[in-house]
Amino acid sequence: MRKARTYSSQTQEAVRILGLEIARARRARRWTQEELAERAGISDSTLRSIERGSVTASIGVVFELASLLGIPLFGAERDELPALMAQSRDRLALLPARVRSRPSRVEDDF
């Protein structure tokens, strides 16, 4: 039996906000849900679920919808994303490549 996944309130709110932004941008372009779903290659029900803020939607699909609608991701415009990616890679390169668990403390107090 599969355990139900729980999400923090911050995650749930962020997903709802992005869903609302997708719905807003779609309506501003005067696209129906069916039109956007077809452009994204997803079902109408998947799009409705995303616009309602479903946390189970694939992140790739949600980002593709945002891209199709011109919604900036990470607070950056489309042409700024390569620089943002390079910056993230540079910051990651400063950290160790592997993280090992800390050794357990030896209790040698007899």
Domain spans in the chain, listed from the N-terminal domain onward: 9-93
What mean pLDDT is predicted for residues 83-100?
A: 93
Express each pLDDT in 2-58 by its tens digit: 778 899 999 999 999 999 999 999 999 999 999 999 999 999 999 999 999 999 999
Adjacent-strand bridge partners of 29: none
Q: For residue 107, is pLDDT > 80?
A: no
Phi, psi for 55 (deg, rounded to 5): -85, -5
Tokens standing for 3? 């355990």
Helical segments of the chain, H only? 9-28, 33-40, 44-51, 59-69, 81-93
pLDDT of residue 76: 86
pLDDT of residue 2: 73
pTM of the model: 0.80
Q: Considering only the top CATH level, what class is 9-93?
A: mainly alpha
How would you classify residue 75: left for phi > 0, otherwise alpha for psi between -120 and 50, otherwise beta? left
Distance (Å, whole) CA 17 – CA 90: 30
